[in-house]
């Protein structure tokens, strides 16, 4: 959930002000991942010293503290390493001492930043306490810093001992999920990074083109001691004894990608981050680390090692250097006041981007290239299991009905955390669909690995290219909604919804009886961007409704049924998330089974009554509410005069039933936004939450 950022320059002269600004600006791009506190570590005035600056609150508070430091901001460094961190508290309250980076001792011999949770930190802490180590924070991360110092002190005299072998030894003792960046005064101008379960990527910036677009993975031999390295003679060649050993013992002394044409060291800068959004302003060439990779950057070269060699793990022998396709403007607010507002208003474009190149509106065909080779397997499935969390779960719920109607394959809905708690039976002829905006949601990834172990076909629906879900699933669909920075998801929900509808349409293409239904839905998709624009044009009326009617309320019920049940749940979640107002989405058919007891003249109610096959049943719910003196606000279709003349209404355009939820959610997103503004809340950074939930 935290955001980590690292910067290393080699043979590129940078002053301390540039380095500090690079680190704090990188953190600003990651602030959606956590904003309880922030900190950074940079080189001191000598290679043997490190300076740590930490502050409670957002990155802006850290920037202010950095500016107040009594240091020479004009001091230049030919080579330098720095790291930074923005925190979402898991262990210990938000305070300066619990902020990252954490250090091994008062001399800052080892400093590190961490995203994730170490589950066996109590055992490590107990061991180190018995060894005489003292702890200054309540965090799990400090245990790792102290453990690094302990292993270093006990193994530093071992022949061939390196920063990589030290981090490898540390990582082998850890349980849980993590992404780490390590820095040490014992290994100046070097950075080591490793990950397991939490995302981490490396950006590369050079003046010259790289020789190759990949980096070799340097596997160690299973029989070889962890810290050993092949013997070299004075000319840096492998000695005769080493050269005579089996080929897998050979270590590449240089990384091919970073050699210059003349063989001389190449000026280069590296950027490490939890998310590409922090890197794109510097470079678009990035490399995604896999679980148990250990990346070592020294002397301008990036080397990737593996924590352990398992010939059956299917790990590739290289890591490709990819080109980011996002633009800096996509992660800037532009003329909008908040990222959430920008992302709500981007939805007419983002839904088009999700469909672009996939929907042929003239021929009424859908082609999802990521699924093409697996369609026969999916059509033969015993059942389709949708697994997700939060907003992503709601997008699955919203499309379950159309999946069952078009494919006639039984479907099952599961929240990822509950799915794992129940140890749900999964079989080889099941198809499991995992939906996650970031592609890094911890519970969803663990559920996916559980299903992979049991032989099920795993399909990923994600917004992030290169994410864990997109890499580890058998096939999938990228929703192409563009970067989503606001913590409360808006455009990702509508794009996930459309991606799942398109998947259902393509799966049913072999069913002639569904031809007319598919045409109806595809025609609805064609008109959808215009319908969303119509709703957005009514934003001023929604703002007035929020201020005049809803802002004074303490609680809100949102009622609907059928396809609109998911809309109710998602709308209630948005209002909870950013306005901190209690809200509850209720299936209208369940009203008389308990929730009706809450209804009186003082209870705020929103009722979704757009016209579909269940409209008469929702009318019954309306009568039940008004009979108890309830005064509902009704989301209805334009032209429904019976409702607009007698109730407060929010008119929306009418579309086909299975797509109506895409139109109906827009006013609820806008209402949540305006309610948060009226209550003075921070829209983009709601308390206690973070965007990418990378811990269980």
Residue 492, C-beta contacts closer than 8 angstroms, at least 6 positions apart: 391, 392, 437, 463, 479, 481, 484
Q: How far apart are CA 44 and CA 185, in angstroms?
A: 10
DSSP secondary structure string for all residues of 153-191: HHHTTSTT--HHHHHHHHHTT--EEEEEEEEESSSTT-E
Q: How far apart are CA 147 and CA 13, in angstroms?
A: 34
Q: How far apart are CA 151 and CA 170, in angstroms?
A: 7
Q: How far apart are CA 275 and CA 377, in angstroms?
A: 34
Cis peptide bond prior to 54, omega within 30° of 0: no
Q: Are the C-beta atoms of residues 599 and 621 closer than 8 Å to each other?
A: no
Q: Are the C-beta atoms of residues 79 and 11 closer than 8 Å to each other?
A: yes
- Helix ranges (DSSP H) in 582-640: 615-627
Q: How far apart are CA 516 and CA 119, in angstroms?
A: 54
Q: How far apart are CA 543 and CA 479, in angstroms?
A: 30
3 state SS for 211-274: CCCEEEEECCCCCCCCCCCCCECCCCCECHHHHCCCHHHCCCCCCHHHCCCCCCCCCEEEEEEC
The tokens of 358 are what? 């996939």
User: To 10 degrees, the CA torsion angle through 387, 389, 390, 394?
Assistant: 0
DSSP secondary structure string for all residues of 282-324: T-SEEEEPPTTEEEEEETTEEEEEESS--TTS---SEEEEEE-
Q: Please, what is the angle between helix 390-407 and helix 515-536, to 10°?
A: 150
Tell the burial category of 72 from Cβ atoms under 10 Å away from its Cβ (0-12, 13-18, 19+). Answer: exposed
2 catalytic? Reply is: yes
Catalytic residue, chosen from 2, 143, 432, 636, is 2
Helix (H, G, I), strand (E, B) or coil at 579: helix
How wide is the angle at C-alpha 244 spanned by C-alphas 243 and 250, nearest 5°? 45
Q: What residues are labeled active site?
A: 2
């Amino acid at each position: 959930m935290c955001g980590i950022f690292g910067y290393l320059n080699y043979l590129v002269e940078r002053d301390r002000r540039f380095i500090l600004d690079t680190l704090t600006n990188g953190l600003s791009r990651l602030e959606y991942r956590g904003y309880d506190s922030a900190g950074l570590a940079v080189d001191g005035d000598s290679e043997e010293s490190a300076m740590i600056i930490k502050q409670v609150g957002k990155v802006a508070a850290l920037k202010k503290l950095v500016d107040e430091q009594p240091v020479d901001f004009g001091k230049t460094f030919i080579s330098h390493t720095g790291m930074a961190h923005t925190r979402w508290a898991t262990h210990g309250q938000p305070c300066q001492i619990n902020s990252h980076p954490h250090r091994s001792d008062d001399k800052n011999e080892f400093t590190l930043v961490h995203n994730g949770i170490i589950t066996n930190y109590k055992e490590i802490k107990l061991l180190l306490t018995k060894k005489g180590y003292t702890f200054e924070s309540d965090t799990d991360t400090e245990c790792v810093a102290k453990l690094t110092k302990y292993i270093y002190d006990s193994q530093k005299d071992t022949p061939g001992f390196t920063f990589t072998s030290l981090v490898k030894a540390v990582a082998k003792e850890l349980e849980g999920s993590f992404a780490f960046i390590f820095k040490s005064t014992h290994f100046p101008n070097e950075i080591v990074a490793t990950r397991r379960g939490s995302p981490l990527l490396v950006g590369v910036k050079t003046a010259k083109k790289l020789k190759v677009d990949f980096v070799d993975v340097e596997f160690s031999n299973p029989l070889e001691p962890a810290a050993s390295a092949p013997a070299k003679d004075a000319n840096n060649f492998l000695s005769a004894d080493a050269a005579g050993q089996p080929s897998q013992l050979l270590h590449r002394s240089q990384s091919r990608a970073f050699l210059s044409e003349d063989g001389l060291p190449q000026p280069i800068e590296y950027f490490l981050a939890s998310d590409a959004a922090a890197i794109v302003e510097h470079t678009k060439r990035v490399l995604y680390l896999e679980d148990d990779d250990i990346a070592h950057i020294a002397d301008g070269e990036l080397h990737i090692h593996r924590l352990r060699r398992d010939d059956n793990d299917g790990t590739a022998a290289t890591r490709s250097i990819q080109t980011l396709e996002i633009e800096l403007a996509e992660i800037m607010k532009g003329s909008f006041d908040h990222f959430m507002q920008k992302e709500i208003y981007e939805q007419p474009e983002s839904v088009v981007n999700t469909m672009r190149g996939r929907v042929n509106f003239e021929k009424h065909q859908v082609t999802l290239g990521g699924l093409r080779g697996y369609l026969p397997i999916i059509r033969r499935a015993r059942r389709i299991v949708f697994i997700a969390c939060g907003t992503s779960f709601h997008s699955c719920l919203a499309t379950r009905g159309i999946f069952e109607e078009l494919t006639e394959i039984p479907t099952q809905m599961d929240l990822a955390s509950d799915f794992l708690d129940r140890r749900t039976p999964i079989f080889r002829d099941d198809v499991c669909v995992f939906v996650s905006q970031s592609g890094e949601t911890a519970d969803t990834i663990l559920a996916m690995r559980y299903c992979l172990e049991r032989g099920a076909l795993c399909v990923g629906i994600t917004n992030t290219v290169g994410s864990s879900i997109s890499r580890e699933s058998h096939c999938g669909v990228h929703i192409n909604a563009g970067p989503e920075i606001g913590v409360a998801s808006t455009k990702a929900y509508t794009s996930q919804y459309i991606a799942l509808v398109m998947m259902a349409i393509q799966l049913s293409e072999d069913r002639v009886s569904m031809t007319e239904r598919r045409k109806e839905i595809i025609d609805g998709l064609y008109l959808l961007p215009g319908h969303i624009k119509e709703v957005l044009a009514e934003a001023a009326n929604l703002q007035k409704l929020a201020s005049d009617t809803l802002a004074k309320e303490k609680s809100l019920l949102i009622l609907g049924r059928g396809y609109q049940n998911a809309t109710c749940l998602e709308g209630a979640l948005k209002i909870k998330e950013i306005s901190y107002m209690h809200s509850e989405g209720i299936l209208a058919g369940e009203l008389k089974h308990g929730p009706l007891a809450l209804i009186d003249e003082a209870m705020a109610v929103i009722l979704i009554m757009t016209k579909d096959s269940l409209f008469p049943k929702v009318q019954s719910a309306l009568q039940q509410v008004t009979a108890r003196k309830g005064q509902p606000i009704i989301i209805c279709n334009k032209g429904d005069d019976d409702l607009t003349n007698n109730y407060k209404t929010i008119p929306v355009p009418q579309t086909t039933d299975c797509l109506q939820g895409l139109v109906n959610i827009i006013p609820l997103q806008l209402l949540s936004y305006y309610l948060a503004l009226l209550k003075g809340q921070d829209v983009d950074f709601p308390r206690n939450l973070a965007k990418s939930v990378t811990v269980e």
